[in-house]
Amino acid sequence: MENAQNGVTRNLTLLTEFCQLGVAGGAFGNQMADDIAYFDLYFRAVPDEGGFIIAAGLAQAIDVLQNLHFSPEDLAYLRQTGRFDEPFLAYLADFAFTCDVWAVPEGTPVFPYEPILTVRGPLVQAQFVESILLMILNHQSLIATKANRIVRAAEGRPVYEFGTRRAHGADSALYGARAAYIGGCSGTTQVQAARQWGIPVYFTMTHSWVQAFEREYDAFAAFARQYPNDCVLLVDTYSTLHSGLPNAIRVFNDVLAPMGVRPKGIRIDSGDITYLTKKARRMLDDAGYADCPITVSNALDEDIIRDMLIQGARADSFGVGERLITAASDPVLSGVYKLSAIERNGQIIPKIKISDNTGKISLPGVKTVWRLFDRELGKATADLITLHTEEPDQSAPYELFDPIYTWKRKTIDHFIARRLLQPVFVGGRCVYAAPTLPEIRRYCEQQIHTLWEEVTRFEKPHHYYVDLSQSLWDLRQDMLQSVSAEGGNDHA
């Protein structure tokens, strides 16, 4: 893939794992290159024991798949490894992505084990893209999910992404800022992300600015004169209550007031922030600046923000950095990419992955995912995974059952079924009309509101129903029993 960033072109086709090339070479050498394979990408667990994940990263995945090719330099490296023969290298020289892809739109809340992206195409191609698709979707979905938790904890107050300096590299900072905006953040301090996607940029000063002047008052005054319409003063460099706030108020009076400009705010970045915001609010109100907002930062996350608000913190917005951009409390998203079927001579042959760990047993066959909404309330009732040939009958009651504890059943009526997986590529040609980033963010917010509060709560969220159609459940059971009868299960 050629990826232009900051004016530098990078070839990222080999941003994969060697096993993907090894399997591709093996398939080619065994005349399996043109076998049609189906792969599902899904998640096994929600970070932070949350109720759902926010799907993100599809736009970058599209860019990768549209631009896959092996450069002469790539081929020269692969040749020198001595692992691949010349016919396979010649095949890679003419490599062109020709697969079909379906995916859920970015910003969609999704749940464990339901496919959020499916690839159908020649085995060599469909297998090769596993690692890079997982890398993109795992990362952005992780950050979007964490951002959404933080935004919900803030209870309507703006949250700004502050994480660039703590990100794990340039791409983590850039695409993390994008994902955070999808998850609900109001803006970012990341300039490249702001420029590239039009994300609102948050503007404030640094402690070093204050330290560079002989007096804190002089630093504030100079900043106010330079940026009168964006004057957010950082008041904790020395003493928030005894120095920073009094000097900020003086500058508001001495510099901004004569201009007829109201201050944009103050920021507190250290200390007992809950206590300081209460005192700061009183001081600002008494000085005639009840409209001056207070932004707080300093290693925040959803748990700290919730506690602060419970304790009466007077924060109007939050700057959240390292614990957002790294998803520090639970920094791994367990996305996997599993073969679900092989197509030969027009016949689809389901495939299943078996494990003693039941959580690693995959769903066989070609599938699609439906979200069932209450017709009157518009709330999401359950998700249903079916074989691709099935469609739930919306004109009659439908019985759902837990795929593990099958005696747990529920009949729903008056529902609307919406297909989640949308066509993205057909024969290697992108057919997806990608929305803008602000549209994705609004869509995400709308979809979160379709979930019941029991699903979105932080502590022990309600287990959202993700059920299988009877036909899909029967197929899986038949394949499990078949493997067990053949002695494929170590603990049959």
Domain that holds residue 317: 144-325
Last residue of a domain, one of 325, 352, 380: 325
Dump strand ranges (E) for 174-264: 187-188, 232-234
Does residue 165 sit in the same domain as residue 182? Answer: yes
Identify whether 1 is part of a domain: no
**Are 208 and 317 in the same domain?**
yes
What share of the chain has pLDDT > 70, as a percent? 96
**Is there a single domain that holds both residue 160 and residue 259?**
yes
Domain C-terminal end among 325, 346, 371: 325
* Residue 492 clears pLDDT 80, i.e. is over it: no
Domain assignment of residue 135, yes or no: no
132-182: pLDDT as tens digits: 999 999 999 999 999 999 999 999 999 999 999 999 999 999 999 999 999
Question: Do 444 and 342 share a structural domain?
Answer: yes
For residue 185, the model assigns a pLDDT of: 98
Strand runs (DSSP E) across 354-468, as ranges?
367-374, 380-387, 398-401, 409-412, 415-419, 422-426, 429-430, 466-468
Q: Report if residue 232 sits inside a domain.
A: yes
Would you say residue 491 has pLDDT above 60?
no
Domain CATH for 263? 3.20.20.70
The answer to whether residues 171 and 196 belong to one domain is yes
Query: Dihedral of CA 20/26/30/31: which sign?
Result: positive
Would 399 be classed as within a structural domain? yes
Residue 463 lies in a domain: yes
The pTM is what? Answer: 0.95
Structural domain includes residue 139: no
* 221 and 287 both lie in a single domain: yes
Domains: count for the chain: 2
User: Is 256 part of a structural domain of the chain?
Assistant: yes
Could you give the CA distance from residue 38 to residue 387 in angstroms, rounded to a whole number? 13
Indicate if 394 and 345 belong to the same structural domain. Answer: yes
Co-location of 288 and 175 in the same domain: yes
Strands 429-430 and 398-401: unpaired
Q: Using pLDDT thresholds of 50, 70 and 90, give the confidence band for residue 1.
A: very low
109: CATH: 3.20.140.10
Both 167 and 120 in one domain: the answer is no
Judgement on whether residues 287 and 406 belong to the same structural domain of the protein: no
Query: Tell me, what's the pLDDT at 489?
Result: 52
Calculate mean pLDDT across residues 221-245. Answer: 97
Rg (CA), the chain: 26
- Are 58 and 169 part of one and the same domain? no
In a domain, 172, yes or no: yes
